[in-house]
Amino acid sequence: MLLQQIVNGITIGSLYSLVALGLTMVYGIMRVLDIANAGAYTLGAYLGVWAYTRTHSIIIALLAGVGGAAITGYLFQRAVYTPIKKVADPIVPLVASIGLFIVMEDLFRLIAGPYTITFPVHLPLNRLTLGSVIITGTQAVILLVSAFLFLLLWILLNKTKIGLAWQATAQDVETAMAMGINTRSVVAFAFILGYAFAALAGILVAIHYNAVFPTMGDIPSYKMLAIVVLGGLGNPLGAVVASMVVGLAEALVAGYIGSFLPTDAIAFLALIILLLVRPQGLFASGGDAR
């Protein structure tokens, strides 16, 4: 029972971390709390199900969802975030991103309809039974894909030129520019990667619950903020750890204590208490607490 809850928790945590990673990548560079990132999550799911029903290929569905979201991320960055960033007050990009998110959700509703669409993928994987623990096919896929992506991101950030440039820019934009780093392409890189990760998470969640609907990004939109702050704003490793903590806490609370408050409220209650004790989040952060 306990092991089963832990496996469930890690599965949820993996999904959270895919979205949280995108958000924290963008924050690390732009210092923008990008609520619209949760729109990319829904966009990925819709593009994925659209491509899947036409081609019945999960690979094409993934490519369509991730590609579409990456292009959207790039366009948002060029058309909205970079021009707005010249304004000093951080509330301006935040309100703009809330606006973008509202527009995206309403477009999904208007174009695809307000109802839930199924995502009928049959993965060629049987459920695994390890002692008393059951891992379903989709759970295994989620865990494997997430592990692969964490590795990929780690290599990207630590072994490639653009990834090192991201780290340098996240630490200090002006010094990075003085060192000849093209911060414009770093910003584009962060948005493309951030939106692609969110879209991938959206597709996996849609397959996991066999459901795509216009407001599926609502809960991630604010819960990811809590997770990203827990992990220290702009800290990718912290975001993954915080996602796992929240995923496990939710699974264990749901499994053992039952709900005295809705799970989302619990996440935020924990966040507020934690922030009062450690104002900079759980981990040393690239973010600016001042």
Partner 1 sequence: MNYWAVLATTVGIWVLLALSLNIITGEAGQPNIGHAAFFGIGAYTSAILNTKYGVDFWGALIVAIAVSALVGAVLGLISMRLRNDFLAITTIGLNFVTVAVFQTVHYFGGAMGIGGIQPPRIGGLAFGTLEIAGLIWVVVALVVILNRHLQKAWFGYALRAIRDDEAAAAAMGIDVRRYKVLAFVIGTGLAGLAGSIYAHFMTFISAGDFGFNISVTILAMVVLGGRGSIPGVMLGGIVLGMAPEVFRFISDYRLLVFGSILVLVMRFFPSGLLGQGSRLQELLTGFIRREGAGARVR
Residues that bind partner 1 (CB under 8 A): 31, 33, 79-80, 83-84, 87, 89-96, 98-107, 110, 222, 225-226, 229, 233, 260-262, 264-265, 268-269, 271-272, 275-276, 279, 281, 287-290
Question: Residue 84 Cβ, how far from partner 1 at the closest point, in Å?
Answer: 6
Question: Residue 101 Cβ, how far from partner 1 at the closest point, in Å?
Answer: 7
Which is closer to partner 1, CB of 147 or CB of 273? 273
CA distance 102 to 109: 11
Give the H/E segment covering residue 43.
Answer: helix 37-55
Which is closer to partner 1, CB of 34 or CB of 149? 34
State how far the alpha carbon of 74 is from the alpha carbons of 70, 71, 81, 85, in Å. Answer: 6, 5, 10, 15
Angle at which helices 183-209 and 137-159 cross, to 10°: 170
Question: Residue 28 Cβ, how far from partner 1 at the closest point, in Å?
Answer: 12
Instruction: Kindly report the number of other CB atoms within 10 A of residue 243's CB atom.
Output: 28
Which is closer to partner 1, CB of 124 or CB of 258? 258
Which is closer to partner 1, CB of 12 or CB of 233? 233
User: Which residue carries 């991201």 as its tokens?
Assistant: 166
Which is closer to partner 1, CB of 95 or CB of 134? 95
Which is closer to partner 1, CB of 42 or CB of 139? 42
Alpha helices in 113-230 (DSSP H): 137-159, 161-171, 173-178, 183-209, 218-230
Contact 77, 52 (CB under 8 A): no
State how far the alpha carbon of 263 is from the alpha carbons of 76, 91, 96, 252, in Å. Answer: 31, 27, 28, 11
Distance of CA 138 to the CA centre of its chain: 18
Instruction: Kindly report the number of other CB atoms within 10 A of residue 287's CB atom.
Output: 21
Question: Residue 110 Cβ, how far from partner 1 at the closest point, in Å?
Answer: 7
Question: Residue 75 Cβ, how far from partner 1 at the closest point, in Å?
Answer: 12
Question: Residue 94 Cβ, how far from partner 1 at the closest point, in Å?
Answer: 7
